[in-house]
Amino acid sequence: MGKSMEGKVIIVMGAGSVGEGWGNGKAAAVLYARAGGKIVAVDRKLSAAEETRSIIEGEGGECITVEADVSSADDIQRIVADTLARFGRIDVLHNNVGIAETGGPEDASIESWNRLIAINQTSVFLTCKYVLPVMKAQKSGVVINIGSIASRRWIGFPYLGYTASKAAIVGMTQNIAVEYAPHGVRCNCILPGLMDTPMIREPLKAAYGGDIETMKAKRHAQVPTGRMGDAWDVAYAALFLASDHARYITGVELPVDGGLTLKCV
């Protein structure tokens, strides 16, 4: 896509990676930068955001980092203020932050439920609450929300809090898309399927018998294409939806799942 994000200011929430390798936010931040974007890399762990910044600057891109808790209204307002102070505008908000915890209604703790809703769902409300007024004033902007196919399908084990939080993001995306379309703002949601990223390995391995290689083999076998996706599959989808190539696309839920949601089981 060349320099499809040339000169655009992009806030990536969760721009670091929780472990070795490429998480969705890290890949998205680097890809946006390669397409010419100016990146605000936000992460609760500053060192993770700094690693992403180092990659971007090493490739000749521009990036600043912000350490923040995206479930904190004060922190989100600070992110917006820092971005405007540095760049003067916000063109893309990429909501990538999320955690995964298993459990159904009986065995999931109340603490787990509240944590999932706060981090996965309330964070999106807060970022949109404080970024959308900026985009509305500019009469332009794009919001990319990262959901999950778990909002549509049972994926093999109880996942209640995660599913509920990601399903909420779909509804929020649709509401924002319609309300802000007259103001030149688009909002779309990407639904990753079974992904091979650092975030899923430790939290989910117990659901597959405790062995990561067994988990990976089982997840590969579930997908019609024969393999899980990776962070770059999600990043390329986000780059398209954030760019002017997708200027007439808003309110969509785009599965990036190798065809998994086409299966009944």
At residue 185, the 3 state secondary structure works out as strand
The DSSP call for residue 161 is H
**CA angle, residues 166, 99, 265, in degrees to nearest 5:** 55
Choosing from 130, 162, 180, 248, the catalytic residue is 162
130 is catalytic: no
* C-beta of residue 79 within 8 angstroms of C-beta of residue 11: yes
* C-beta of residue 67 within 8 angstroms of C-beta of residue 46: yes
Taking the CA atoms of the chain, what radius of gyration do you get in angstroms?
17
Q: Are strands 92-95 and 62-67 parallel, antiparallel or unpaired?
A: unpaired
Task: Return the number of other C-beta atoms located less than 10 Å from residue 106's C-beta.
Answer: 7
- Distance (Å, whole) CA 118 – CA 114: 6
- Distance (Å, whole) CA 242 – CA 239: 5
Residues annotated catalytic, as ranges: 162
